């Protein structure tokens, strides 16, 4: 069996590399096609996991639109699929790369295996365009690797036959086994020594504009009022995000950095006090590392973390972000409840379950 793993952004790479490594360990032929929707951020992850690309469509352009990504990935995959002739293509999650690769496979009647299938918010514009992408991939996927029972239920409700769904856990948790180290050190941690360190990320397209302004204003006020708090925000390279993040400049307890490499990010997350984020993957990392997360979004496709209490959905309203952030800084009981809630995203052996199901079904 010939597998082609096709992906293009940082989170896809973090969650796909454990699957590639596991399949290869079992002697399966896996070719790796990067769309290059991301560039430096993707290269960092490939290095961290020691996975080399066999081909790279290099589609990234500064300030790219959804049309740009779709057009370039479709045209590149037309050629790659003809040349590689894989038996099955593995895609991950919900990016525009994921959608365009799955659509390409459908056009050429090639089997698709969807890693992290079945996540839903129920609102096709939140997150945008990810909710559309993942729903569309489900239409064409032959094998669905659902991280949780709730994700499986979402798929069954949409009419996916049960024999095509495998509950595996999330491969994000597998990735932490490679990245998090006991002897880790970093000058950023020296800078934060003696303070409570807050790690923040924000990059979602639906948060551009007023939501970002609200979030940054609330966060700045809460940090300025709390002398023992320091905050690190690795700013996404998207020019729209860089511009908005300027609202946090000029405060000596807030550090804006370039995106952190995945080893740095996971290790700093493991040592911080709490996380503020609109990211998907960090909603999985943080509960596994016993860190509370305030989710800076209107919706989440990760209700399991809300149910265990590890995540709190705070939205993007300025007053709500400020109040919930202050609550977590000021209320020890609330903090402990969230920090020690259980991790619902798996035991770190998801890649092995994906490999079991794939090899059983496709060989």
Active site residue 236: yes
Catalytic choice (116, 174, 278, 285): 116
Least Å distance between CB 83 and ligand UDP? Answer: 29
256: which strand partners? 233
User: Which CB, 262 or 321, lies closer to ligand UDP?
Assistant: 262
Least Å distance between CB 200 and ligand UD1? Answer: 14
92 to each of 19, 99, 113, 256, 330, how far by Cα in Å?
A: 10, 9, 8, 29, 38
User: Which CB, 110 or 188, lies closer to ligand UDP?
Assistant: 188
Binding range to ligand UDP, per CB under 6 A, among 68-76, 77-85, 182-190, 273-281: 273-281
CA nearest neighbour of 33 among 13, 63, 10: 13
Residue with the shortest CB distance to ligand UD1: 95
Binding range to ligand UDP, per CB under 6 A, among 25-33, 132-140, 254-262, 345-353: 254-262
Q: Which of residues 173-232 bind ligand UDP (CB under 6 A)?
A: 201
Residue 153's binding partner among ligand UD1, ligand UDP, none (Cβ under 5 to 8 angstroms by kind) is none
User: Which CB, 265 or 357, lies closer to ligand UDP?
Assistant: 265
* Residue showing tokens 């209320």: 331
Q: Is 140 left (phi over 0), alpha (psi -120 to 50) or beta?
A: alpha
Active site residue 94: yes
What CA–CA distance (Å, rounded) separates 278 from 276? 7
User: What residues line the site for ligand UD1 (CB under 6 A)?
Assistant: 9-11, 37-42, 60-64, 66, 69, 95-96, 129-130, 203, 237-239
In 3-state terms, the chain is what percent helix, strand and coil (to 5)?
50, 15, 35
Handedness of CA 37, 43, 47, 50 (dihedral sign): positive
What CA–CA distance (Å, rounded) separates 247 from 279? 20
What CA–CA distance (Å, rounded) separates 281 from 13? 11
Catalytic choice (157, 205, 337, 360): 205
Near ligand UDP by CB under 6 A: residue from 281, 303, 305, 315: 281
Least Å distance between CB 201 and ligand UDP? Answer: 5
What angle (nearest 5°) sits at the alpha carbon of residue 81, between those of residues 77 and 87? 135
Least Å distance between CB 21 and ligand UD1? Answer: 21
Contact 17, 92 (CB under 8 A): no
* Site track for ligand UDP across 127-166, x = CB under 6 A: ----------------------------------------
CA 165 to chain centre: 21
348 scored as a contact of ligand UDP (CB under 6 A): no
Active site residue 205: yes
Least Å distance between CB 198 and ligand UDP? Answer: 14
Residue 285's binding partner among ligand UD1, ligand UDP, none (Cβ under 5 to 8 angstroms by kind) is ligand UDP
Handedness of CA 138, 141, 145, 149 (dihedral sign): positive
Near ligand UDP by CB under 6 A: residue from 145, 166, 265, 322: 265
CA 32 to chain centre: 19
CA nearest neighbour of 233 among 207, 267, 263, 259: 259
What CA–CA distance (Å, rounded) separates 97 from 103? 10
Burial class (CB in 10 A: 0-12, 13-18, 19+), 171: buried
Binding range to ligand UDP, per CB under 6 A, among 56-64, 96-104, 241-249, 276-284: 276-284
Active site residue 84: no
Active site residue 116: yes
The residues assigned a catalytic role are 94, 116, 130, 203, 205, 236
């Amino acid at each position: 069996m010939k597998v082609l793993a096709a992906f293009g952004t940082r989170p896809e790479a973090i969650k796909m590399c454990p699957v590639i490594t596991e399949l290869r360990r079992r002697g399966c032929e896996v070719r790796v096609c990067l769309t290059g929707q991301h560039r430096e951020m993707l290269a960092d992850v490939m290095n961290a996991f020691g996975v080399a690309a066999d081909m790279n469509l290099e589609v990234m352009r500064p300030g790219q639109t959804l049309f740009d990504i779709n057009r370039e990935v479709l045209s590149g995959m037309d050629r790659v699929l003809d040349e590689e002739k894989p038996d099955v293509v593995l895609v991950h999650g919900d990016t525009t790369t994921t959608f365009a690769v799955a659509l390409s496979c459908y056009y050429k009647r090639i089997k698709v295996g969807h890693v992290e299938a079945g996540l839903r918010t129920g609102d096709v514009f939140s997150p945008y365009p990810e909710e559309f992408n993942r729903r569309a991939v489900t239409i064409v996927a032959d094998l669905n690797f659902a991280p949780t029972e709730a994700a499986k239920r979402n798929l069954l409700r949409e009419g996916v036959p049960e024999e095509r769904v495998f509950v595996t856990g999330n491969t994000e948790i597998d990735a932490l086994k490679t990245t998090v180290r006991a002897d880790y050190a970093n000058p950023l941690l020296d800078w934060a020594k003696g303070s409570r360190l807050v790690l923040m990320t924000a990059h979602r397209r639906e948060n551009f504009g007023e939501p970002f302004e609200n979030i940054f204003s609330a966060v700045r006020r809460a940090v300025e009022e709390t002398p023992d708090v320091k905050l690190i925000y690795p700013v996404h390279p998207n020019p729209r995000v860089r511009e908005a993040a300027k609202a946090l400049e000029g405060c000596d307890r807030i550090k804006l950095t370039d995106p952190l490499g995945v080893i740095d990010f996971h290790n700093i997350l493991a040592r911080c006090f709490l996380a503020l984020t609109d990211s998907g993957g960090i909603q999985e990392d943080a509960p596994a590392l016993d860190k509370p997360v305030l989710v800076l979004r209107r919706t989440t496709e990760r209700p399991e973390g809300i149910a265990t209490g590890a995540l709190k959905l705070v939205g993007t309203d300025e007053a709500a972000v400020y109040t919930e952030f202050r609550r977590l800084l000021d209320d020890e009981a609330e903090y402990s409840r969230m920090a020690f809630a259980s991790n619902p995203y798996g035991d770190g052996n998801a890649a092995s379950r994906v490999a079991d199901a794939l090899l059983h079904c496709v060989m």
